[in-house]
Homo-oligomer: A and B are copies of this chain.
Amino acid sequence: MATHRFQPTHYHTTLGPHAPVLRAAPGDTVITTCVDARGFDQHDQRVTAPGNPMTGPFFVEGAEPGDTLVVRLERLTPNRRRGWSGVLLAPNVLEPEHVPELARSGDFSARWNWAVDAEAGTARLDHPASPLHGFELALDPMLGCFGVAPEGGQAISTATSGPHGGNMDYRGFRAGVTVYLPVFEPGALFFLGDGHALQGDGEIAGTGIEISMDVQFSLELIKGQRIFWPRGEDEEFIFTAGNARPLDQCVQHATSEMLRWLETGYGIEPQHASLLMGQCVRYDLGNVFDPAYTMVCKMPKKLLGRLSR
């Protein structure tokens, strides 16, 4: 139950079987930092190249392919005052014939800054030329990209996502959440980064309010439990994430994974799981910006609690 403090000196823009930066045992806690999506750190200095440079990988003792890695996101705190965001909605989230019209309607080339105050819990638009200068939003810090080394020795860009996690940009990956990831490589090799001070669903402008972060997480291991897609749990819901294109396929992965979870994790036979999901399921949208999109399938824990006897 050690607590490791780790200060990264280099970063990765692929999730893959890279040399671990630290070895931790199940039960351990890690306190570290993440640079922002373009490689700028807590001092607002570029320390590595874009995009979505990852801290890690962390090697978890005893983790083997076929196990499940458990990561509890304990603390995600923006650690500088400048955040930034894109302005232009991604061409793939608009009607195709709308795309040239929007492009013609203004200058979308710049990134806009936000003044982030982690204590006050606010982000204010910091763009004096704009009539929206000073517009304030409530922080909801989250990690856009994290995951493990993928299956089969692959090294996959942090621009995209898959069964191993990756760039899912789901608002639900905030502090307090427990994440479950399939293990494909010995030690699991956990990576994390791409902090967002807050973000709209879909990350449709291609960014949240991007910022570097202080991060604390703990690690656990479920030996011999094979899962197929990232899973998570907060106070209200258990959830599963499907990462693919089109969104229809994300729905398929997330829904099948939830059905498997209800059956093997809660002992609910498929017929009843199917009936309950039909009337009680919720879906959230991760990003619709990256090469693979993300859709999340959720079931209320309160309801499942009433079933476990």
Contact = CB atoms under 8 A, between A and B. Distances in A.
Interface residues of A, number: 86
A206 B275 CA distance: 11
A148 interface: no
Number of copies: 4
Contact of A208 (B86, B151, B247, B279): B279
A1 B295 CA distance: 45
A137 B207 CA distance: 38
Nearest to A131: B272
Interface of A: 13-14, 16, 85-100, 102-108, 112, 125, 130-132, 135, 137, 151-157, 198-209, 244-249, 251-253, 255-256, 259, 269-272, 274-283, 285, 288, 291, 293, 295, 303, 306-307
A131 B252 CA distance: 27
Contact of A283 (B99, B112, B201, B270): B201
A111 B88 CA distance: 32
A174 to B, nearest CB: 15
A65 to B, nearest CB: 14
